[in-house]
Structure 1
Amino acid sequence: MVVGVKLVVQVRLTPDAVQVSAVDHTLHAANEAANWVSSVSFDRFGLKGSVRELRKLCYGELKARGFGAQAAQHVIKRVADAYATLRANIKAGNLGPEHSKRRRKAALKPIAFRPDAAHTYDDRCLSWNYDAQTVSIWTLRGRLKNVRFACSPGALKQLAEHRSGESDLLERDGKLFLLATIDVPEPEVLEPKGFIGVDRGINNLATTSDGDNYSGRRLGRYRRWQARKRAELQARQTRSAKQLLKKRARRETRHATHINHKVSKTVVAVAQRTERGIALEDLRGIRERVTVPRDQRARQSSWPFHQLGAFIAYKAKRAGVPFIAVDPAYTSQRCPRCGHTERANRRTRDHFHCRRCGLAGPADHVAGANIAKRGATAWVFVNMPDPVPA
């Protein structure tokens, strides 16, 4: 069996006036039905409703509302999956401790779905014509054929060659989109000749062991400017101001995502060209472990380090570049030359100076070198052959 890399391709639907009315109506009705199924599930089972139990209770009513068999099943499965995700987040502690306000708020009311939230379509409800760039899609007003969509030539090629599984229909800013899953074959992982260590931070988004630095200064200025604009809009307390706030928040998120894509693409390209692997710090739970001054909290909470790590990981996998996450402990306090580890080695945030051997340099560069060494060691250990039994 060939292992693949699962990615998502987004295309924009461009229906005519009649088609857009039918698609809009179906999407809003599907989310309204999902809210009804969610309330039934919460009233009967709390957070523990399953697909089988909800099907017995809700399938007939959904059919009476005009949903086809597959559409009704998808509504029920969406609700059951949403409660399963909520249970997993509670169990993992992602919503705080047992008596926290956030956890109680999530656990004491039914899950709600926005009117424009994504609704799932499988190949029985949605078919693609790549040559004509159209789809045929099921709606409550019947099957719509020749609904046009727009995307880049590269995305169209990926869809035609690798699309598999379900697609999601959603509405954003009054525009309709389809999110399609593609399964790209995963290339064979090359045998690394070394590793590039990547240190992530706030002032410097990423610094590699080669000394390449991707500064977060421009992103920080952009976010501070956005924060000032948000404060101005929040002071107005009008409906239009709230709409603008949401629009600005999405724009800021897209900008940070674009920056992370550019950084991760460059790092992976360098590793692929030099036949090296990539080592990254495992920073899970860092926000719970690290405390910062009050005036730095907003900056830390908006730090997109997790997204950058995820982008590097999947791009490396897609390019056949070895990737490994290592222990982040003391990477910025350890000397990569003599191994001496001491807090005093890092006198300031930006500068490293070993108290034993005198090695000095940018602290983030030193951390990247330590991460690269740990990556090489961990890779050898992980790929060590199992001992032959006597």
Structure 2
Amino acid sequence: MKLVVRVKLLPTPEQAVALEATLRACNEAASWLSVRAFEGGWTSRAALQVLAYAELKARGLSAQPALHVLRKVADAYTGLRANLKAGNLGRRGSKRHGKATGKPVVFRPDAAQPFDDRCLSWQLGKRTVSIWTTSGRVKGLACTGQAGQLAVLTTYRQGESDLLCQGGRWYLLATCEIPEAALNAAPDGFVGVDLGIVNIATASTGIRYSGRRLNRRRDADRRLRARLQRKGGTKSAKRRAKRHAGKEARRALVYVDPAYTSQECSRCHHVDRRNRPSQAVFACQACGFVEHADLNSSHNIAARGWWTWVRGAESQAPALTLTA
């Protein structure tokens, strides 16, 4: 699992000037290279390295920062092509599509710049970093962060870190690769959840949720869908409908067919429509078991979840040995 840790830098005024000049130089070089790439149609990393590596070094960038500028420009055009292919920037021939493809990618002067371990080193015990700048190596640059985040950074930091300036404050965004904990081969049990109208959710643990806030959200969503449908299928309406679609979806550990769970007795599993004398009451016609209807349904869902899980599991019973 990848986690990005944000570390705040506390530069002196002189160090801040060096960081600002470095960020500006890298992004000016990236914008310059973007124009060259756009005009020549060369946007891959390999092509850009052949095209402009020497010139980037001549602009005051050392070897690693020059390579990062090349990669940043190549990745920007790769992302642009992906968005165009996905239709996120309109159809070919549209004004939006033409605006995206009709000019080179431009990088803001304060856009983030990646640094690797050759041009950035951490001294977390001293709460300092050492970083390359266009005016030389800046050492002893103070940094701070939450103790837990710094512990994660010490143990799991891998790869590049991005230098970023926001509102006059300086940060390093460090990528950490945290191994995911191994999951148990089989669960200890299942909690069944019955979704209804009066009670939004009833768990087999006995907890019921009336869902007043969720009902208000659902009503708002229905009103929004109705307004969008009255728009007559305009592009903006379709775009908004797509953005709001699926927000009420929920994830399950195991999908369970809910058919007849409201009519099935969770004790004897007798299924009968007459088992529901009212919306809230379950009374089994076979064994006489009585319970709240939603709670009974949730027990059935939990049981079906378990059987769905173990249905494909490998048998743990010892094999039979036949002897003559």
Distance (Å, rounded) in 2 between the aligned partners of 1:172 and 1:64: 29
Please tell me whether the aligned partners of residues 6 and 181 of structure 1 are also in contact (alpha carbons under 8 angstroms). Answer: yes
Report the structure number with the largest CA radius of gyration.
Answer: 2
Distance (Å, rounded) in 1 between the aligned partners of 2:300 and 2:69: 49
Aligned to 1:84: 78
Aligned to 2:182: 188
Which of 12, 19, 25 is residue 16 of structure 1 equivalent to? 12
TM-fit CA distance, 1:105: 2.5
Aligned to 1:122: 116
Distance (Å, rounded) in 2 between the aligned partners of 1:189 and 1:37: 47
Aligned to 1:350: none
Q: Which deviates the most, 294-303 or 76-85?
A: 294-303
Q: Call closer, same or farther: CA 1:80–1:162 in 2, change over 3 Å.
A: same
Please tell me whether the aligned partners of residues 133 and 149 of structure 1 are also in contact (alpha carbons under 8 angstroms). Answer: yes
TM-score (norm 1): 0.56
Please tell me whether the aligned partners of residues 30 and 69 of structure 2 are also in contact (alpha carbons under 8 angstroms). Answer: yes
Distance (Å, rounded) in 2 between the aligned partners of 1:65 and 1:154: 40
Distance (Å, rounded) in 2 between the aligned partners of 1:62 and 1:43: 17
Q: Indicate yes or no: 2:99 matched with 1:175.
A: no
Aligned to 1:42: 38
What do the CA deviations read for 1:257-303 (whole angstroms, capped 9, x no partner)?
Answer: xxxxxxxxxxxxxxxxxxxxxxxxxxxxxx9xxx8244897799589
TM-score (norm 2): 0.66
Aligned to 2:69: 75
One-letter code of the match for 1:74? H
Matches within 5 A, 1:275-286: none
Distance (Å, rounded) in 2 between the aligned partners of 1:17 and 1:76: 30
Q: Call closer, same or farther: CA 1:93–1:130 in 2, change over 3 Å.
A: same
Distance (Å, rounded) in 2 between the aligned partners of 1:304 and 1:116: 36
Distance (Å, rounded) in 2 between the aligned partners of 1:39 and 1:194: 60
Please tell me whether the aligned partners of residues 90 and 96 of structure 2 are also in contact (alpha carbons under 8 angstroms). Answer: yes
Which of 90, 103, 108 is residue 109 of structure 1 equivalent to? 103
RMSD: 4.6
3-state SS, counterpart of residue 112 of structure 1: coil
One-letter code of the match for 1:42? F
3-state SS, counterpart of residue 185 of structure 1: coil
Aligned pair count reads 269
TM-fit CA distance, 1:57: 1.4
Q: Which has the higher helix share?
A: 1
One-letter code of the match for 2:136? G
Distance (Å, rounded) in 2 between the aligned partners of 1:151 and 1:34: 30
Distance (Å, rounded) in 1 between the aligned partners of 2:119 and 2:103: 32
What do the CA deviations read for 1:162-188 (whole angstroms, capped 9, x no partner)?
Answer: 111111111112211111011112211
Aligned to 2:290: none
One-letter code of the match for 1:292? R
Please tell me whether the aligned partners of residues 336 and 369 of structure 1 are also in contact (alpha carbons under 8 angstroms). Answer: no
Identity of paired residues, percent? 43
